[in-house]
Chains A and B, each alone.
Chain A
Amino acid sequence: AQSVTQLDSQVPVFEEAPVELRCNYSSSVSVYLFWYVQYPNQGLQLLLKYLSGSTLVESINGFEAEFNKSQTSFHLRKPSVHISDTAEYFCAAGGNAGNMLTFGGGTRLMVKP
């Protein structure tokens, strides 16, 4: 069965600093990868996704993630965070081989002024 590991449960960072949220997955077959964001007291929203093609994918609000097949990773990065980026971020892995989408445990990003 697929598993997804988010290595950091909490990441505190100062405003305008860069940040990386780490995600590793276990599947050896064709994989789809997703990052979701959950703002306080809200549902999960898709931030970005990798299905195929370019290994670097970007969101509209400045986040990017890179699919690294050899390291089975899909880390999320932003070069300069804002207070408004404070949220819980979930990595998820799926695919077209019948595997259910599997979520990581989440990483709480806390941006300090």
Chain B
Amino acid sequence: NAGVTQTPKFRILKIGQSMTLQCTQDMNHNYMYWYRQDPGMGLKLIYYSVGAGITDKGEVPNGYNVSRSTTEDFPLRLELAAPSQTSVYFCASSYSSGFEQFFGPGTRLTVL
């Protein structure tokens, strides 16, 4: 099992550009999550999904969008990138909401 994979590993964007962060899991988990982690800080939940076709906002959803067309994939879309979105983004998945989450290696995004 590859677990949770994320692409790209690194990306530099200019202000106003858009991009999609990819996340795929091969554990057949229903639950998937997107977090951001700012330097020296903890995790903040951006969006989560409880299954294909169902998504919901987390703590910091503004400036982001998600979709969940399959169980395996949970892409995160950044529209009109801003410097405040410079962060490390982690995708995670779990069997159920209160169970252990499995994390991807992260995407380091810089917006200049």
Contacts and interface: CB of A to CB of B under 8 A. Distances in A.
Per DSSP, are chain B's interface residues mostly helix, strand or loop, or mixed? loop
Interface string A58-94: 0000000000000000000000000000000010101
Interface residues of B, number: 19
Interface string B40-60: 111100001000000000000
B101 interface: yes
Contact of A106 (B42, B100, B104, B106): B42
B99 A32 contact: yes
Given A90-B42, A104-B42, A106-B42, A99 B103 contact: no
Contacts of B96: 96
A7 interface: no
Given A43-B90, A106-B42, A98 B103 contact: no
B97 interface: yes
A43 B106 contact: yes
Contact of B97 (A36, A98, A103, A108): A98
